[in-house]
């Protein structure tokens, strides 16, 4: 932390600030300039509220230097993390891994038809909601464990990994036997109790960025999981909320190279939620791969017009197959393959 | 819902759209203009995704007319809701109710000294965190039930209601004996499982707007609680996230009159989180009352410089007392009293 | 400016950074800590791009300490600026000055009827557009000089100051004989050529914050005008663009106390553009005064339903008179009068 | 426009609304439902403020159906616009056109060295600022006409088109002899006087989206130019302002496919301003091409560390050449070439 004192700060104020910092456990370095004194403070752990220092008399500005996370930071594993999964799939390696499937598991037929199609097109994991976060209490909320059983069965049948969303602590144990990856949705990015429990699990967690989550907050939420000992965290950009209303969300493609710089964790893109409109999914999926995404999460439905939720952003199976072909052409430009 | 067909839409596309709507349970009214056909669709419940209609061939635009909530809407109780509390305090009535106290309960001394001061200044409720949502896993997370006991004792001693934040379903039963109002924090505005459980409780819930929550989403979240039978919901503006970085959040004062128009529920303002800086709390508290707030939630600490959390936005007791005097001068301008 | 070197930075990188800073004209102070070296750099003018320093090898983070403006900063005139106007009105003094009038000057009748009403209610200045910035090329663009003449005549008749918007350099000389205050609209906050020309004028300028303008950028734009020698700048909050779509803009009331802290310039609020809806103007005007605004800019029209522009956010004269009464009750709470 | 009357609206209110609309020049179609009456209004020009209708008694909601622009809309030229330029380059055709060069023209050496390098790497146009919009009045503001002469000379020497920014009406005539494309910067997207003058010119205009400009506003600004008879408008995404502060702006890649759907005008991407950081330029340039951009605008400097402005976001010539190779691999995936 660096503390710039005001030009008008007196020696007593400077001494007071130094004492305050020492009491907090910091080692303080003083630099006395012609006009202004600057204090450097290190060593007191990564949890402090810089606003408290800003309010000390004579202090002009305070800047945090160290990042507030450590396990999630690039420095912790400079070589990058590769998450190794059951069927030999590796997220964060040379292959761009595509995960696809319906928004919600609706029926055996719907799920198996879709799973068959995405497997043939080259997807490696099957997504599908068993528990659904819906902004209206009157919307379909998911089939629960029944859906999980169908997902596992479809995954086994078509040699696909299974990923599904966990919304609440009590669902974790229920889901573990059925899924290969636990997904945390955007609305739960800062559900800290849930994150802490997921830190105790030994299964990969895909953590989505909240619609108003900064990238620093996303990494702090990853830190919650990692602090519990679960280092298999996969991050995911799925659109942020901005002033533009044409799309549901504004997909922040630049989050992909930024996360790769700040963190060692693999970075996924979800162009379906990122845009909310079917005809924008393919361009944004291609853009994500071109920007370096390690994996994609794409909604595909065997009959989107009849989907119970998010049909408007779900691809038809043949659109998905065509997209996979385009992605295969782009991947080599970034030294990857699909 | 209103569906505007494209000018170029053929009769078959119009018929197809009408059939689709009828299948969904809508009654459809057709208006054939010189250039364009418009369909009005009513009666199929309030839960549907208009994007699915937008994707039908020949459809140009779709607009929802009915609001997606009903229990939370003004029409449900045009006269407004007044939440009646244990000590005779009424939120939503003529009095502007002030709730104050520390961010977190730290110790018996800290809590009782603060409670004494705010009671003397005219506050009617004591706030204080027992469970703390912290963006870093390494931060103080609250004293839990011990804190709740202290809150209850201080509340009884100084004739103050007690309000504290619930973060997770398992905490609800634990908290009920100790608190008069259960607070849902901004990060949990869309924690739908938690909201649903709070609908089963018979105690008032103060629901804070998320930092990226639209007012419509806030009302939908209130609807979750009300749909369970708990109609004692109090809403709260506490700052939204914008591009401006000088303050932590941008407090949206206009949310106060807007909520009063859209809903019958009482509307509270939290200028402490709304700005994140102590010297901005008083101006924004005054602005909130001037704009018509039914209640205020203000962080006060007997010794803010030593606060374990949010000291930077906590008022000193004497600042709080001075602010109460200013608020008493403003309230009559909006036909209220404090 | 403070430069934090990476922990792994070598002595050569540190020397290289120091030399680079010295070449740029900075005086550099070095603080060598146990883990990390920190450089303080002062004295090289206020215009530099810190990103260039961030890219030097071995540099971890760079923070600007000095604000990038000086004439607009509080330190330049700690006692605050009071703009003295023709009819004895002082903006920035004890009185909260209310400026009101129609969005656009439409006709003699419309303007004089409105001016008469606002003068009787206690306004001190008459606003009215002669040149209108319209987002559509097909909208009414203002009556130009004819409107300016009517404004001056109405101002003289009802003892009101005249304020009107300048959109372009060529309009400045045309407007000077007619107006007392030149207004720069939100869309021109960063029209630097216009600002520079306004610096050569000796008439007060009311500068509105852009819908995406940070407060720092607002002050930098004020600096453009002041750097030319025109120190009579009045700032104005008129709503920023956020994700919330219920109102046109989100009025940032907290900008009022923040500007008062950062700058000596008077701060105005425009609740008409700040919300875009007539029924929200009064609550936000009250909130602005309660938060400490030095002046208000309010759209009033003698017959809003027939207004050629912005009728939806214009008050009826009797609404304005009622609002003035409310504001008179609130002003004393902040030590002001109206 | 569609007007949904309130369920409780009386017949007199409905008649009043109809009469109001007819007076405004609309043809009105009435649809009387079991619960609610809906009015469709067409034919009164594209300029009206729907808020005025919203305020009529008995009106619940008003929705605009027709887009507020026409010349810029897709329907005006469904086949798409191709802008044909002097050296045979076509923007909007099969080739993705790359424009590159320094932020500002600093010297003959700097410009010619850079121009040589980008021409060799495959760029088709040379960018370079002669007039610079700078947020601080103390920053370098451009070499003016001298810079334009150098641009033209370099363009002719290396067979590159010349593009440069116009900030003000008086610069238009000065620039015409030197440039092939006039660029309007983000800060001037709504400088309507400037746009109107550019409508009178017969030279292509590249119009950048403002940092808070919606896509509808961008198209309305294009409409200003086109309404004057200049149909050669090229649009450009260069980053919008959001809550995320890691990058200067958040580049909205989804704007590319959206503009292609809404408009016939070519769509360009500027990853240099879109991110503000050199190491993010290549990923975002690749993403733009993958999403379907018709052209790119990229800052390249022969010696970025010594650049007078925006060095931090300028590529080294060898980085640019490498990027061009990557883009050549991606273009075929979207049916394009470079």
* Residues of C in Cβ contact (< 8 Å) with D136: 46-47, 68-69, 220, 223
Q: How far is C209 from chain A (nearest CA, A)?
A: 17
Helical segments of chain D, H only: 11-23, 50-54, 108-121, 145-158, 169-175, 192-198, 215-227, 255-262, 271-275, 278-290, 317-330
Please report which confidence band the pLDDT of residue D46 belongs to, taking 50, 70 and 90 as the band edges: low
How much is the pLDDT for D34?
Answer: 67
Q: How confident is the model at residue D307 (pLDDT cuts 50, 70, 90)?
A: confident
* DSSP one-letter string for D116-146: HHHHHHT--EEE-BSS---SSTTS----THH
pLDDT at B5: 85
Among C286, C90, A201, A176, smallest CA distance to B253 is for C286
- Across the interface, of B214, B244, B252, the residue whose CB is closest to C214 is B244
Q: C137: which 2 tokens?
A: 């090329």
The strand pairing partners of D98, in sequence order, are: D296
DSSP state, residue B95 = B
Sign of CA dihedral A274, A196, B183, B305: negative
Within C185-316, strands assigned E span 205-208, 233-237, 267-269, 295-299
What is d(CA D332, CA D330) in angstroms, rounded to the nearest whole number? 6
Angle, helices D108-121/D317-330, rounded to nearest 10 degrees:
30
Average pLDDT over every residue of D319-328: 98
Mean pLDDT computed over every residue of chain C: 92
Q: How close B242 gets to chain D, by Cα (Å)?
A: 5
- Mean pLDDT over C81-106 rounds to 95
- Three-state SS for D226-293 is HHCCCCCEEEEECCECCCCCCCCCECCCCHHHHHHHHECCCEEECHHHHHCCHHHHHHHHHHHHHCCC
At residue D158's C-alpha, the angle toward residues D155 and D162, to 5°, is 20
Q: Is B140 exposed, middle or buried (0-12, 13-18, 19+ CB in 10 A)?
A: middle
CA dist D110 and D124 (Å) reads 18
Spatial distance between the Cα atoms of C324 and C95, rounded to a whole number of angstroms: 13
CA angle (C68 as vertex; C66, C70 as ends), nearest 5: 85
User: Which of B14-23, B132-141, C225-234, D6-15 is predicted with the least confidence, judged by mean pLDDT?
Assistant: B132-141
Identify the residue with better confidence: D176 or B51.
D176
Using a CB-CB distance cutoff of 8 angstroms, which residues of chain A are in contact with residue B68?
Answer: 135-136
Burial of residue D79 (CB within 10 Å: 0-12, 13-18, 19+) is exposed
List of chain A residues with pLDDT < 50:
none
Residue contact D68–C211, C-beta within 8 A: no
CA distance D286 to chain A (A): 5
Provide the 3-class DSSP secondary structure of residue A36: coil
Query: Of the candidates A232, A136, A223, which has an alpha carbon nearest to the alpha carbon of residue A180?
Result: A232
DSSP H or E segment with residue A168: none
Q: How far apart are the first and last CA of chain A?
A: 44
Q: 3-class secondary structure for B266-307?
A: CEEECHHHHHCCHHHHHHHHHHHHHCCCCEEEEEECCCHHHC
Q: Which residues fall within 8 angstroms of residue C261, CB to CB, at 6 or more apart?
A: B279, C74
Helix, strand, coil distribution of chain C in percent, nearest 5: 40, 20, 40
Contact B138 A212 (CB under 8 A): no
As beta bridge partners, residue D183 has D165, D206
Contact of A40 with A29, CB cutoff 8 Å: yes
Q: Which residue of B has its CA nearest to A309?
A: B49
Distance CA B53, CA B56 (A): 5
The single-letter DSSP state of residue C240 is: B
pLDDT range class, residue D173, cuts 50, 70, 90: very high
Domains along the sequence of chain A with CATH: 2-63 (3.30.70.1140), 74-334 (3.20.20.70)
Q: Give CA–CA dist C212/A106, Å, rounded.
A: 43
Instruction: Let me know how many helices (H) and strands (E) chain C has, helices first.
Output: 11, 14
Joined together, the tokens standing for residue A18 give 């130094």
| Backbone angle region of B25, left / alpha / beta, with phi > 0 → left and psi within -120 to 50 → alpha | left
| Residue D332 to residues A296, A326, D121, Cα–Cα distance (Å) | 21, 9, 18
Confidence of residue D116 (pLDDT cuts 50, 70, 90): very high
Residues of D with Cβ-Cβ distance to A245 under 8 angstroms? 214
Buried b (16+ CB within 10 A) or exposed e, C95-105: bbbbbbbbbbb
Chain B residues touching A137 at Cβ < 8 A:
192, 195-196, 220, 223-224, 227
Residue C15: predicted pLDDT:
92
- Report yes or no: C235 and C259 within 8 Å, Cβ to Cβ: yes
For C55-64, what is each residue's pLDDT tens digit? 888 888 888 7
Q: What's the alpha-carbon Rg for chain C, to the nearest Å?
A: 23
Report residue D332 as tokens: 């075929």
Q: Which two tokens stand for residue B319?
A: 């600042």
In degrees and rounded to multiples of 5, residue D212 shows phi and psi of: -125, 25
pTM of the model: 0.91
CA distance A332 to D329: 8
Q: Using CA atoms, how far apart are residues A288 and A269, in angstroms rounded to an integer?
A: 6
Q: What are the per-10-residue average pLDDT scores of chain B (338 residues)? A: 83 91 83 76 69 83 79 92 93 97 96 98 97 84 94 98 96 97 97 96 97 96 95 97 90 97 97 92 98 98 86 93 98 97
Query: How close is the nearest chain D Cα to the Cα of C99, in Å?
Result: 23
Residue D122 and residue D298: Cα distance in Å, rounded?
13
In this structure, chain B runs to a length of 338
Shortest alpha-carbon distance between residue C85 and chain A (Å): 34
Going by C-alpha positions, the residue among D29, D31, D40, D34 that lies closest to residue D62 is D40
B67: nearest CA partner in chain A: A136
Contact status, residue D183 vs residue D165, Cβ threshold 8 Å: yes
Q: Indicate the Cα dihedral angle C25, C27, C31, C35, nearest 10°.
A: 0
Could you tell me the two tokens for B227? 């749909």
Pairwise CB contact (< 8 Å): B63 & D60: no
Closest CA to A320 of A61, A102, A174: A102
Contact A40 C42 (CB under 8 A): no
D150 by DSSP, 3-state: which? Answer: helix
Residue ranges of chain A whose CB lies within 8 Å of a chain C CB: 2, 4, 27, 29-36, 38, 40, 42-43, 60-61, 63, 65, 241-243, 245
C49: chain D residues, CB-CB within 8 Å: 309-312
Instruction: Count other Cβ atoms within 10 Å, centred on residue B102.
Output: 29
pLDDT recorded at residue A80: 96
| Two tokens, residue C277 | 């809806």
- Residues C153-183 have pLDDT tens digits of 999 999 999 999 999 999 999 999 999 999 9
Task: Give pLDDT, residue D75.
Answer: 87
User: Which of B216, B290, B332 is nearest residue C287 as measured by Cβ atoms?
Assistant: B290
Residue B254 Cα to chain centre, angstroms: 14
Q: ipTM value of the model?
A: 0.91
Task: Write down the pLDDT at residue B41.
Answer: 79
Q: What is the distance between the terminal CA atoms of chain B, rounded to a whole angstrom?
A: 44
Q: How many CB atoms lie within 10 A of CB D54?
A: 14
In our burial notation (b when 16+ CB lie closer than 10 A, e otherwise), range D237-261 reads bbbbbbbbebbbbbbbbbbbbbbbe
The percent of residues above 70 in pLDDT, for chain D, comes to 97
pLDDT in tens, B162-174: 999 999 999 999 9
Q: Give the pLDDT confidence score for residue D44 in this predicted structure.
A: 62
> How far apart are the CA of C43 and the nearest CA of chain A, in angstroms?
9
B38 chain-D contacts, CB cut-off 8 A: 2, 29, 31, 38, 40
Q: Are strands D233-237 and D267-269 parallel, antiparallel or unpaired?
A: parallel
> For D246-261, what is each residue's pLDDT tens digit?
888 999 999 999 999 9
Closest partner CB to C42 (pick from A33, A42, A63): A33
CA dist., res. A59 & res. A53, Å (int): 8
Residue of C nearest to A43 (CA): C35
Residues in chain B within 8 Å Cβ distance of A19 = none
């Amino acid at each position: 932390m660096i503390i710039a004192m005001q030009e008008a700060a007196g020696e007593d104020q400077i001494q007071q600030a130094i004492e305050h910092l020492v009491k907090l456990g910091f080692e303080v370095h003083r630099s006395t300039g012609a006009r202004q004194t600057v204090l450097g403070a290190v060593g007191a752990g990564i949890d402090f509220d810089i606003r408290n220092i800003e309010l000390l008399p004579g202090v002009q500005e305070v800047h945090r230097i160290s990042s507030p996370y450590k396990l999630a930071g690039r420095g912790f594993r400079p070589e990058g993390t590769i998450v190794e999964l059951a069927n030999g799939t590796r997220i964060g390696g040379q292959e761009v891994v595509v995960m696809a499937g319906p928004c919600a598991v609706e029926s055996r037929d719907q799920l198996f038809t879709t799973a068959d199609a995405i497997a043939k097109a080259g997807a490696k994991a099957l997504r599908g909601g068993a528990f659904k976060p819906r902004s209206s209490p009157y919307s379909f909320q998911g089939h629960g464990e029944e859906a999980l059983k169908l997902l596992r069965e479809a995954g086994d049948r078509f040699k696909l990994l299974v990923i599904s969303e966990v919304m609440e602590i009590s669902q974790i144990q229920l889901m573990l036997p059925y899924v290969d990856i636990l997904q945390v949705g955007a609305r739960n990015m800062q559900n800290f109790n849930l994150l802490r429990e997921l830190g105790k699990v030994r299964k990969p967690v895909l953590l989505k960025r909240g619609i108003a989550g900064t990238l620093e907050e996303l990494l702090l939420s990853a830190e919650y999981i990692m602090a519990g000992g679960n280092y298999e965290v996969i991050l995911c950009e799925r659109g942020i909320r901005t002033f533009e209303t044409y799309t549901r969300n504004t997909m922040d493609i630049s989050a992909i190279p930024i996360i790769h710089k700040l963190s060692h964790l693999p970075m996924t893109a979800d162009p379906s939620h990122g845009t909310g409109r079917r005809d924008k999914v393919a361009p944004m999926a291609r853009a994500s791969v071109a920007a370096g995404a390690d994996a994609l999460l794409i909604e595909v439905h065997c009959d989107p017009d009849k989907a119970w939720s998010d049909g408007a952003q779900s691809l038809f199976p043949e659109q998905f197959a065509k997209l996979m072909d385009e992605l295969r052409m782009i991947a080599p430009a970034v030294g990857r393959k699909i």
